Structure 1
Amino acid sequence: MNIAFELLVRAALEERIAHLLLFHSGAALERRQAGVYLAQALNCQSLRAAAPCLECSACRRIHSGNHPDVHILQPQKASLGIEEILHWQEQVYRKHYEGKYKVFILEQADRLTLPAENALLKVIEEPPERTIIILSAQNAEALLPTIQSRAQAVYFPETEKDNWLNSLDPSINPQEAEEAFMLSGNDPEGALVILDLGVAKVKQWVDQFEEAIRESDFLKVFSLFPIEKNEALIYLQVLAYQEYADVRSPGAMLAINKTLDQIRKQANPRLAIEVLALELFRQGGH
């Protein structure tokens, strides 16, 4: 965490936080993790004062994306339109379900259309009580000045991606390396493993697995084997990151993380992944 964010968390724990926040720069995943952590600080059920406990029911549900008072909105198209914002407003004005604070994280806010920004201004000017809105954007300057002026801005430093890319052997294709870094969820060690296995190979396995899940076709799962333990771990890491980044299914993400833990504890990779596939079939795919 950076100092500005640490001060923000302290303010949240003392319940003296601004209702509109602007997280900008850095990596999208880092900004989301910060927003989730802040939501935990605001709704933690523990009596600790220094930080959210991360262990109570509220903290766990917020982390899994399964808390009714914490919402993340992502653009489904190239921009965030007024229809999406108007639908989102309905959620903002609903009553609290169980948390102390409702928290809304609006990702890629620099992709808001002008009508959508104007609609957002109405919420900002008359915010519901105990409701925190977090705008997450790579480029804060793309937002209307009237929105910027109303928000408490928190800057996130750039990621270590550039330093990592510069440290690689010059013979490595930089575009392939950058894609490996993205697939790994900004994990330099994981990105090296992906490069070693081959970006195309990793993407093909993940795509085939997701296709098998969408079609509930267990025969297609069989075609993905045999694989070694290190391959299984990196494939599942990529799957887990995609679930987290897309907010498609908290249940799927939890099932994938459970499978990762089992394989790390020496479970048979094939058996563990077959059990995972059956669980995702039960959940109805992604």
Structure 2
Amino acid sequence: MEINHTIEKNLLNAIQNNRLSHTYMFEGDALETLRRYSTFFTLNIFGDTPRNRALMKEGNHPDFYYLGTEETTIKKEEVARLMHVMNNKPTETEYKVYVIEAFDKLTPQAENSLLKFLEEPPEKTIALLLTVDKSNILPTIHSRAQHIFIRGDSSDRLKELEYLSEDDLQTIDALSLNAGHVKDMGEDFSKLRQAALEFSVKWMNRHSLVLLEIKPMLEWCDERRDYLLLLQLIDGCVRQAMHSKLKLDIFKPYNEDLKVDRMISVNQLTKMLDEIEQANKMIQFNVHPMLAFEGLVIISKG
């Protein structure tokens, strides 16, 4: 992907120009892609030599620590072990590097214990924090990190979602949806996608009963990120309709026929996209979801 080639080049430039930060937060929609880029960056920080490659591959590099877990949380004790190792000076290379996979899994106690370490890191120590959900990470940690967004490769995004239908996978890939979030939703994602599709078509066609679609649609959402995902799905539907109006077939997250009235104009669809953005901001500011989604319909009717 072109965007990831650009990121790769920027990371190499930071090394070559001796402009490395103490802390990086790699954000994205596929953890496997973030893992691959953290390995690439670490190896180039150390020096891409056969010895460093071998030590990294074997998991025996003395200047490298990788913290990840299959559990739902990363505890304070695990972070304490990492900090203990990282307080030692590098032995093989000029730097020590540690990676925390799924940083959003850290408990509040673990985050707070790491915070001072990030504020006053040992010399020549670099942190790579990987996350597919940065929303609950402490603002003070965000402020210490250089943020880099890395769009997931399609194969990484979809490989753990094979239980979903081809239509679902097409939507996920075209909209670059967060694969981890979709996985957490399980089969409910298919139902949310279908509800979003039905609502969007009725909304674009100014159906008189579209308001009645909102409550059952929102019942598939349990937390704020679910509502934001729902808005992404609706946004994708409206954008597809706009591309169709413009006779462009390059963007098609939905395989279904949207059946939008030919009298609906591109200008009207553009205004709907603006309203979706406003609803997104309302959800971000903890406005009640029902009010945010009702606003989409009421404003467009007005």
Match status 1:58 vs 2:61: no
Contact 2:33 / 2:152 at 8 angstroms: preserved in 1? no
> Which residue in the other structure is 1:78 paired with?
72
The structure having more radius of gyration, on CA atoms, is 2
SS at match of 1:32: helix
Contact 1:43 1:59 in 2 (8 A): no
In the other structure, the counterpart of 1:118 is: 112
Which structure 2 residue ranges, 5 or more long, are not aligned? Answer: 170-302
**Distance (whole Å) between structure 1 residues aligned to residue 97 and residue 136 of structure 2:** 23
1:14 aligns with 2:17: yes
Change in Cα spacing, 1:42 to 1:173, as seen in structure 2 (3 Å) is closer
**Are the aligned partners of 1:5 and 1:154 in contact in 2 as well (CA < 8 Å)?**
no
Alignment CA distance shift 1:161-1:39 (3 Å)? closer
Task: Please give the alpha-carbon distance, in whole angstroms, between the structure 1 residues aligned to 2:64 and 2:81.
Answer: 16
Matched, 1:28 2:26: no
Displacement of 1:141: 2.1
In structure 1, C-alpha distance between the alignment counterparts of 2:152 and 2:28, rounded to whole Å:
7
Determine helix, strand or coil for the equivalent of 1:141: coil
Tell me the CA shift for residue 37 of structure 1: 1.1
Q: Write out per-residue CA displacement over residues 17-45 of structure 1, whole angstroms, 9 at most, x where no aligned residue.
A: 1010001113212111111111111111x
Question: Contact between 1:39 and 1:62, CA under 8 Å: does it hold in 2?
Answer: no
The share of aligned pairs that are identical, in percent, is: 29
Unaligned segments of structure 1, at least 5 residues: 45-51, 166-171, 179-286
Number of positions where the alignment pairs a residue of Structure 1 with one of Structure 2: 163
1:37 aligns with 40
1:158 Cα deviation (Å)? 3.3
- Contact 2:74 / 2:106 at 8 angstroms: preserved in 1? yes
The answer to whether the 8 A contact 2:29-2:157 is kept is no
CA distance in 2 between partners of 1:155 and 1:5 (Å): 12
Question: Aligned Cα RMSD in Å?
Answer: 2.6
- AA matched with 2:26: F
Q: Over residues 144-188 of structure 1, what are the superposed CA-to-partner deviations in whole Å (9 max), with x where a residue is unaligned? A: 1110111001101133159979xxxxxx9627998xxxxxxxxxx
Instruction: Give the deviation of 1:77 after TM superposition.
Output: 2.3
Quick check: 1:174 aligned with 2:167?
no
> What is the CA distance between 1:98 and its match in structure 2?
1.4
